[in-house]
Chain A
């Protein structure tokens, strides 16, 4: 379920990874990333992000 993603403005503070109830946030090559398959969209990470870089995934237009 693709719901949220972390933009490149991430400051790598680790706040989001620590609170994710499904452990869907990990540190990738350059920043924290959300696993789109397992994110449930609970938005706890959104509330703890100090720089507001976690945003809803843009909805795909139906083909």
Chain B
């Protein structure tokens, strides 16, 4: 994958800080309906940091004291407590706790001494992941667990930004990218419902959510040798093109950064290593036709992303995108209707 001058920077910036094996296994296991909550305890036992820190949470200390008092002499009390905590919390809360421990680890805020307090705060630490998961569940959208994982990419990247003392500009760009991705994800999900016999429907929401994430990295690693001094100055340059600012945004990205934001997004997904299918679709979301002969379902996923982006920007479909619609057997009037409904909602 040719990704220009950013590839080396990204490797140095992201690679040492992406989720470790325990968090990745936890996400995979918690999304698997066959896996029971107690199986997650087994997973924690493979890494004692997680097994012990789950038992360290301030929130559970009074309850744990009661359990210990029941049978103080029991030698395997640590394992019993872990099993009971996981059963008590259930799969989702256990997953959240594990992920938050991973984020504490990344931020260097794990307890260093016996007397240090240890609290998990999922509502703050994994805000993006919980927002999209709650949205999917409240609106009966399928595959909320995949949406959660996609949202977690934003939370993790936010923690990396904080750790690396990245500029406020980048943190704002991350929030803006999430807002854009969230909007795009809802559109992409609606589009995917018009496509019949689609194998990758479970990746649509997460792929669309992640499409803009690369913009925040462009901002974080903004090259100092460019004409515009910062990412926000670059955006301001694009705004000067008024009616064609989106086209200018796409063209100037290639010209100035030697890479486009969705290619960078694909790289982020690649380094996180959890959503491999999404990575390919995002990478080809501007040119889905490259996938046409190789993998027809991946082509359809990338085409949905391409169309969702256009609808999110409130632009008419291009001739190429009309071809995608024909390939996907989506009637043009249905997309027009969607577009009108979106305008009405606005």
Give me the interface of A with B, judged by CB distance under 8 Å: 2, 5-6, 12, 14, 17, 23-24, 26-31, 33-38
Across the interface, A31 reaches (CB within 8 A) one of B21, B22, B52, B112, namely B52
A35-B47, A37-B21 as given contacts; A30 in contact with B108, CB under 8 Å: no
Please give me the residue from chain A that is nearest to B52 by CB atom. A28
4 cross-chain pairs, A with B, having the tightest CB-CB distances, nearest first: A28-B52, A37-B20, A26-B110, A29-B55
30 pairs, A vs B, C-beta closer than 8 Å: A2-B46, A2-B47, A6-B48, A17-B112, A24-B49, A26-B105, A26-B110, A27-B56, A27-B113, A28-B48, A28-B51, A28-B52, A28-B56, A29-B53, A29-B56, A29-B81, A34-B48, A35-B20, A35-B49, A36-B21, A36-B22, A36-B46, A36-B48, A36-B49, A37-B20, A37-B21, A37-B22, A37-B47, A38-B20, A38-B105
Known A-B contacts: A26-B111, A30-B78. Give 5 more (CB < 8 A): A14-B112, A27-B111, A27-B116, A36-B48, A38-B20
Q: How many Å lie between the Cα of A36 and that of B53 in the bound state?
A: 13
* Pick from B21, B49, B111: contact of A34, CB under 8 Å: B49
CB distance from B76 to the nearest CB of A (A): 12
A interface, over-half SS: loop
Residues of B within 8 A of A38 (CB): 20, 105
> What separation, in Å, do the CA atoms of A28 and B78 have in the docked complex?
11
Chain A, residue nearest B49 (CB): A35
A31: chain B residues within 8 A (beta carbon): 52
Q: A29 — which chain B residues lie within 8 A by C-beta?
A: 52-53, 55-56, 78, 81
How far apart are A21's CB and chain B's nearest CB, in angstroms?
Answer: 12
B258-310 interface (Cβ within 8 A of A): none
Kindly report which residue of chain A lies nearest to residue B47, judged by CB atoms: A36
| Chain A contacts for B53, CB-based, 8 A | 26, 28-29, 33
Within 8 Å by CB of A35, from B78, B105, B112, lies: B105
Which of A17, A28, A30 has the largest number of chain B CB atoms within 10 A?
A: A28
Q: How many angstroms from the CA of A27 to the CA of B117 in the assembled complex?
A: 10
Chain A nearest CB from B40 CB (Å) reads 16
Beta-carbon nearest neighbor of A5 in chain B: B48
- Bound-state CA distance A5–B45 (Å) is 12
Contact A26 B49 (CB under 8 A): yes
* Min CB–CB distance A31 → chain B (angstroms): 7
Assembled-state Cα–Cα distance A26/B20 (Å): 16
A5 vs B78: C-alpha distance in the bound complex, in angstroms? 16
On chain A, the residues within 8 Å of B52 by CB distance are: 28-31, 33
Question: B197 to nearest A CB, angstroms?
Answer: 37
User: CB of B114 within 8 A of chain A?
Assistant: yes
Beta-carbon nearest neighbor of B115 in chain A: A27
Q: In the docked arrangement, what's the CA distance between A27 and B113, Å?
A: 6
User: Restricting to B32-79, which residues have a CB under 8 Å from any CB of A?
Assistant: 46-49, 51-53, 55-56, 78
| Given A5-B48, A29-B53, A34-B48, A14 contacting B113 (CB threshold 8 A) | yes
CA gap between A23 and B21 in the complex, in Å: 17
**When the two chains form the complex, which single residue of A27, A34, A36, A37 contacts B112, counting CB atoms closer than 8 Å?**
A27
Nearest Cβ distance between residue A1 and chain B, in whole angstroms?
Answer: 9
| Residues of B contacting A30 in the complex (Cβ-Cβ under 8 angstroms) | 52, 78
Question: Which of B20, B49, B78, B114 touches A12 (beta carbons < 8 Å)?
Answer: B114
Minimum Cβ distance to chain B for residue A4 (Å): 11
Q: Which residue of B lies closest to A12 (CB)?
A: B114
Q: How far is the CB of B341 from chain A (nearest CB, A)?
A: 45
CA distance A16 to B203 in the complex (A): 43
In the complex, which residues of chain A have a beta carbon less than 8 angstroms from the beta carbon of B81? 29
Q: Mark B83-113, 1 if CB is under 8 A from A, else 0.
A: 0000000000000000000000100101111
